Structure 1
Amino acid sequence: MNKLQGESLNITKQNINRLKELFPEVITEGDKIDFEQLKTVLGQVLEDQHERYQFTWSGKKQAILGAQKPSKGTLRPLIDRSKNFHQTENLYIEGDNLEVLKLLQKSYNGKIKVIYIDPPYNTGKDFVYKDNFANGVQNYLELTGQVDAEGNQLSTNTESNGRFHTDWLNMMYPRLKLARNLLTDDGVIFISIDDSEQEKLKMICNEIFGEQNFLAQVIWERAYSPVNLKKNFSESHDFILVYGKNIHGLESNGLKRTQAANDRYSNPDNDPRGLWKSSDLSVGPAIEKNIYEITTPSGRKVMPPSGYSWRLNKEKFEEYVNDNRIWFGPDGNNVPSIKRFLSEVKDTITPMTIWKYQDVGHSQSASQSLKKLFHDKAYFTYPKPVELVKRVIELYSNPDSIILDFFSGSATTAHATMQLNAEDGGNRKFILVQLPEKLDENSEAFKDGFETICDIGEERIRRAGEKIKEDLDETKLNVLDTGFKVFQLDSSNIREWDVDFDSLEDRLDLFETPFIESRTQLDIVYEIMLKQGLELTDSIDCFLVKGMTVYDIGNGTLFICLEDKINVNIANAIIEKWNHYGRETSSVVLSDAGFAGNDTEKLNCIELLKGAGYPEENILTI
């Protein structure tokens, strides 16, 4: 019987397998790569010069390797902190986003349609994660003060430390590398940033996502008045970098047409085709064949402006005149223009790259809205406006898309997702990840009972969901999902085999059960789901077999039994359930300790499952 792998997706092994599929001849014994053979296959186009165009910094190689190092951690469910835990499809995860992104690689690879993140801007006042790639979960526990860390706490990244930009780049690179894997082929990532790291962020995004997949650098007008204390310039904007995973065939949903845009259309000549507006007939640069004289109905002769030509050639222009699509003004004496009918334009507007605060809000309006939600308490400084993030989601998501934000902060992304679902009837799901940073004990939020940023974020989602439902039609109340499952990053529920010959007898006693004390069966079930690549929102049902619990995950996708006295009755019950669902594939995970050393019983279970059609690789022990 195969052992369940205790790590997250091994990205290095995955990359080797992909290379093996493309060029099997370059893989040698032991899955080593023959680079000389690879050069031959690629036609000697590899760059081997010592001087080349590249963007590098101290620690970059370690950051790349760190992103590929599997995590041995897990995500534990916190039902008491959740809302509608057993019904909701939304996730809120407390933990270091690097480790969480690793743990999501199997379950959500290629499933996220839109990622929006608002990472630390590196202004000298921001927290920047200090990653320990050797043991990411232990590093996370130390940073959040959950274990004795000899004073190792989060600190601000100040320019005086000598590695100001380097620390920030080493934080961002591996997280963006992992995030790309999670995007669908037509997925898009939006990243908020300011001038502090904008150019460096764009360079690492060009490397990770590809220059050809750059979509836009949006300018968001975040302030509406100058700060006169500034000596030179008062910054009034932030940037939002936008990249697609694969720009080929990618197209924005566009923005909904506003009434103001429609009001620009009229019908002064009572055209039976309805409302229209005029559009310039001239265009530059000039095309020689489209430069010709036009005589207006009043007899006036006109030519295109110098350096311009008409948009239409002479024959096409005559067709437009005959179809009453050319407007010469009420007196027939104007320079001709083209009539664009409202009934013929698309329902959406292509977004421009400058987003005005009148359309998507500004920092002060966002702060005031959040303050109002918390009964006039200001717990966050400079949160992003809901309308801003809602536009981000609206541009590229589908009604059933998954939205990810792994620097979730004040949880605006959750608020925006629920708000958009309420407006258009969608069923988008959100996944939020946030480090539970300790709040200052002198802060207003701490005095009001909030200990971490996560406490505030979760409460914000609760309050926002209820506020949205207050304004919602009763027929949609039961459809809108305003709940969220809370998970917490932690060390694995399963003990690692650590050979210490000085305490071997004690260690053997521990391994009567492989599970950590105080961990529940549900903790273990979710860890198995992650390691098997199932989504954390897949259904979990239970059935009893002679008093023993069997977990049925995803309607027969996976069966788990963690009981102490597993026997053939369990195997037969699983087979019966599997046949009931009629699934082609399914997996079974059984507690190895549950057989209590009875190898005959274990063998009988395996043979029963194999005889029923289970492939041997789908029968696992833990």
Structure 2
Amino acid sequence: MERLKMHSPNLTQDNIARIRDLFPGCVTEAKGEDGSVKLAVDFDQLRQELAESIVEGPQERYHLNWPGKREALLAANAPIAKTLRPCRDESVDFDTTKNLFIEGDNLDALKLLQETYLGKVKMIYIDPPYNTGNDFIYEDDFSVTTDEFLKRSNQKDESGNRLVANTMSNGRFHSDWLSMMYPRLKLASRLLRDDGIVFVHIDDNEVDSLGKLCTEVFGEDNFINIITVKTKVGGVSGSSEGKSLKDTTEFIWAFAKNKENLQLNPVYIKTKLSDRIRAYEQEGKSWKYTSIITKLAEKFLIKEDVARGVRFFGYKTLETMSIQAFARENKLTEDAVYDQFADKIFQTTNAQSSVRLTTMRETANIDVPMVGCEYKPIKGRNEGSVIEVLYKGEQRRMMMFLSDAVQRIDGSYYYLDKVSSLWDDIEYNNLTKEGDIEFPNGKKPIRLLQRIIALTTTDDDLILDFFAGSGSTAHAVMQQNAEDGSNRRFILIQLPEKCDQEEFSKISDISKERLRRAGKQVLEETCKEGWRQDVGFRAMQVDTSNMADVYYAPDALDKAKFDLFVDNIKPDRTPDDLLFQVMLDWGVNLALPITKQSIQGKDVFFVDGNALAACFDASGSIDEAFVKELAKHQPLRVVFRDAGYKNSAVKINVEQIFKLLSPATEVKCI
């Protein structure tokens, strides 16, 4: 319920609204004296609207700008003194999984991942708040300097209170939404591989602003597609009835990190062949595969190009007939003909391919009903295999066989349509059942996400979603891996946003539980051979730094309390916590296997064998004998706590010991 204003009208805003009615392009958004975003008049543009000649004004240029843009960029670049703390009890297969789930503010999490995952993510998919007037957006604090930002981030963790209501009363300002999205996309772009790609899901409220923002972050030349997704049959709300068309679509902007290096995988929509033929008939379309080869004989060699590995053939005999006639003659149904003779059923086309043009030139004086070109494609579905493409008649029309357009699955043929930028075949109903968990803010179908995953990733590629929601992206990764035998990995980030569900208090808890249930479901189904069946995840939480305040500002230490400086770790932090902050700082993959060994009674962590060795013993008993024993493992990196050394002489000699016994080891302490 809205409150009464209890004050006189704001005449300025009323006047601006009137100007907007007359000159929409002259009203923009600007920050008021109190820092809030309000409507304002672009007087230079208004002067031009009212002038009969060009008026003087600021230099024109094509760019995207809004109040708060510079502050948003500062927020993207400002350092933070935070860390990721492991949550073993909330994880699945913590010690062996390659997947990560991070609970916390995604702006902080993206900053923390910069060292470790710079240029290593193949695909990013996000489904951010849509700026509908009924959702929430992140409230980033842009009012402090970089130094203040760093200092404060060590003192306070506000990740649970980072959302503000984006109500209709604030006018659904674009500026607030752009300021929220800009720093996150900037940081995400740095994580993408050079052949990587990002997909951003949105509705029509911010589709235009999002396109401009992505163009600024990734570059106009790296635009791939805007995918239109049919989400429902429904209509508009009562207040909009008669004022707009029925809203049945959402959109996905796709941008590459470097379009020149991007290679999309062929992905097809599969429809049962009989259903596809009948759908054509019902829609009044012409079904092209209506003829069958009944005889093709007397093949002879026309020419061979040994250097290029190409041969051209001719066929003196060719006989064809219609599917209907063939079915009658052989007493078969047309469905049976399609099912048994897909490799002989064809249509022809004048495709202007280089292969066809070469074949026309090399066989120009050969008078036969059919010619063929045999070669080995260097790309596409037949890459590396010798194939023969046939061309019919004097016009050398290329033969397209039904067998190349269908796939046999469980004894039935399915027609393959190469996926386009219109996705209207994905079911959006009954999504509450997916993942065996309810989600209040709307799920995305795993079929949609599987299509994106199959289109852009293979093998061990890394996939990132930093608006994780219910965890649909991770579910889709596991399902797609199970179906094609790949071992893709995921990183999910979700704010611990409060929710009203009886079973869960935070959306991040819903995400983790869905991952647990979905993993079990995937393993219960048929899994393709070669998949390592990784349905686990390492749960981690964004938190303040493990280091005490004095670690960042030793000059501020009261000399009378100098003993505090010896142990500069916060008292509630565990060796696990310290290990992962060290891994972040050193840029070590957070999903590498971790083991723990006892050396001379002290616990030592080994990450991925010898990638990193860490001893966080604080008993003051680390001596040269222990250091020499550890050096025998020849780790690439080793770290100790300052409080662990027996005396200052041992600390001084550590580097010398490693130089003698393991010269490649990099030694540090905290």
Contact 2:583 2:590 in 1 (8 A): yes
CA separation of 1:272 and 1:101: change in aligned 2, threshold 3 A: farther
**Whole-Å separation in 2 of the counterparts to 1:254 and 1:410:** 28
Match of 1:281 in 2: 350
**Which protein, 1 or 2, shows the higher relative CO under an 8 Å CA cutoff with sep ≥ 6?**
1
Question: Where does 1:37-76 land on structure 2 (aligned, <5 Å)?
Answer: 50-76=59-85
Instruction: Work out which of the residue numbers 505, 513, 522 in structure 2 matches 1:459.
Output: 513
Is 2:632 aligned against 1:576? yes
Match of 1:518 in 2: 572
Instruction: Work out which of the residue numbers 237, 249, 255 in structure 2 matches 1:243.
Output: 255
Match of 2:284 in 1: none
| SS of alignment partner, residue 369 of structure 1 | helix
**Unaligned 5+ runs, structure 2:** 1-57, 143-148, 278-288, 298-342, 373-389, 408-415
Is 2:601 aligned against 1:559? no
**Whole-Å separation in 1 of the counterparts to 2:537 and 2:86:** 11
Residue identity in the other structure for 1:109:
L
Q: Deviations over 1:497-545 (max 9, x none)?
A: 2669998257534323111111100110011001100111112122222
Residue identity in the other structure for 2:505:
E
Instruction: Work out which of the residue numbers 648, 656, 664 in structure 2 matches 1:607.
Output: 656
**Unaligned 5+ runs, structure 1:** 1-48, 146-152, 284-289, 291-309
Match of 1:341 in 2: 401
Question: Where does 1:13-162 land on structure 2 (aligned, <5 Å)?
Answer: 50-132=59-141, 134=149, 137=153, 141-144=157-160, 154-161=163-170
Match of 2:542 in 1: 489
| SS of alignment partner, residue 76 of structure 1 | strand
**Whole-Å separation in 1 of the counterparts to 2:491 and 2:556:** 45
Match of 1:548 in 2: 602
Is 2:643 aligned against 1:619? no
Note the C-alpha offset of 1:571.
2.0
CA separation of 1:272 and 1:245: change in aligned 2, threshold 3 A: farther
| SS of alignment partner, residue 292 of structure 2 | coil
**Whole-Å separation in 2 of the counterparts to 1:164 and 1:271:** 69
Contact 1:215 1:242 in 2 (8 A): yes
Is 2:644 aligned against 1:591? no
Contact 1:213 1:246 in 2 (8 A): yes
Question: Where does 1:444-483 land on structure 2 (aligned, <5 Å)?
Answer: 445=501, 447-448=502-503, 450-472=504-526, 479-483=532-536
Note the C-alpha offset of 1:619.
1.5
| SS of alignment partner, residue 514 of structure 2 | helix
| SS of alignment partner, residue 184 of structure 2 | helix
Is 2:415 aligned against 1:352? no
Contact 2:155 2:544 in 1 (8 A): no
Instruction: Work out which of the residue numbers 559, 582, 588 in structure 2 matches 1:528.
Output: 582
Is 2:478 aligned against 1:424? no
Contact 2:135 2:165 in 1 (8 A): yes
**Whole-Å separation in 1 of the counterparts to 2:207 and 2:654:** 58
In the superposition, the TM-score normalised over structure 2's length comes to 0.70
Match of 2:266 in 1: 254
Contact 2:105 2:159 in 1 (8 A): no
**Whole-Å separation in 1 of the counterparts to 2:140 and 2:363:** 64
**Whole-Å separation in 1 of the counterparts to 2:663 and 2:362:** 70
Match of 2:427 in 1: 361
**Whole-Å separation in 2 of the counterparts to 1:318 and 1:258:** 41
CA separation of 1:531 and 1:122: change in aligned 2, threshold 3 A: same
Contact 2:68 2:175 in 1 (8 A): yes
Is 2:268 aligned against 1:268? no
Contact 1:144 1:436 in 2 (8 A): yes
Match of 1:164 in 2: 173
Residue identity in the other structure for 1:235:
D
Note the C-alpha offset of 1:422.
0.8
**Whole-Å separation in 2 of the counterparts to 1:604 and 1:281:** 78
CA separation of 1:139 and 1:492: change in aligned 2, threshold 3 A: closer
CA RMSD of aligned residues (A): 3.3
**Whole-Å separation in 1 of the counterparts to 2:273 and 2:220:** 34
Instruction: Work out which of the residue numbers 435, 439, 445 in structure 2 matches 1:379.
Output: 439
Residue identity in the other structure for 2:584:
L
Note the C-alpha offset of 1:226.
3.7
Note the C-alpha offset of 1:369.
3.3
| SS of alignment partner, residue 620 of structure 1 | strand
**Whole-Å separation in 1 of the counterparts to 2:513 and 2:67:** 40
Instruction: Return 131-140 or 480-489, whichever deviates more.
Output: 131-140
Note the C-alpha offset of 1:111.
1.0
Instruction: Return 565-574 or 60-69, whichever deviates more.
Output: 565-574
Note the C-alpha offset of 1:366.
2.2
Contact 1:389 1:416 in 2 (8 A): yes
Contact 1:254 1:349 in 2 (8 A): no
Contact 2:194 2:261 in 1 (8 A): no
Residue identity in the other structure for 2:541:
Q
Q: Higher strand proportion, which one?
A: 2
Note the C-alpha offset of 1:157.
1.6
Match of 2:558 in 1: 504
| SS of alignment partner, residue 493 of structure 2 | strand
In the superposition, the TM-score normalised over structure 1's length comes to 0.76
Instruction: Return 500-509 or 396-405, whichever deviates more.
Output: 500-509
Q: Deviations over 1:153-177 (max 9, x none)?
A: 6321235336721111011011001
Q: Deviations over 1:183-240 (max 9, x none)?
A: 1111111110111111111111111111111000000001134458433311100000
**Whole-Å separation in 2 of the counterparts to 1:615 and 1:228:** 67
**Larger gyration radius, structure 1 or structure 2:** 2
Note the C-alpha offset of 1:349.
5.7
Aligned residues: 515
Contact 1:221 1:237 in 2 (8 A): yes
Q: Deviations over 1:330-380 (max 9, x none)?
A: xx9xx9953113566799864210001x3x222x2323435xx13xxx432
CA separation of 1:490 and 1:228: change in aligned 2, threshold 3 A: closer
